[in-house]
């Protein structure tokens, strides 16, 4: 089976920490390549958001956990 690269994302929020870790660990166990900012990414750019966007663009799947807090707004990307 080919390894699927899965970018796991959410705001930096305590209530999401455990689910992000659990999903990361389970995806690794079944042979995929999960990516989380806190333990996988190496800075490609000085800007953390630009680094995240670079990793997202190289991922097969983008997995986003949403709670009650907003993340970063990147206006110059033309997306809100």
Q: Which residues contact 60 (CB under 8 A, 6 or more apart)?
A: 4, 5, 6
Spans of all domains in the chain? 5-77
Phi, psi of 70 (to 5 degrees): -85, 155
The tens-digit pLDDT sequence of the chain (80 residues) is: 578 999 998 876 678 888 889 999 999 999 999 998 777 666 665 777 788 888 888 999 999 888 776 666 666 665 54
For the whole model, what pTM was predicted?
Answer: 0.73
């Amino acid at each position: 089976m080919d390894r699927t690269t899965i970018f796991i994302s959410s705001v930096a929020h305590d209530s999401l920490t455990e689910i992000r870790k659990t999903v990361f660990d389970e995806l690794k166990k079944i042979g995929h390549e999960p990516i989380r900012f806190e333990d996988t990414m190496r800075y490609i750019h000085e800007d953390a958001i630009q680094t995240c966007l670079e990793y997202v663009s190289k991922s097969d799947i983008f997995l986003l956990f949403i709670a009650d807090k907003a993340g970063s707004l990147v206006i110059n990307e033309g997306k809100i």
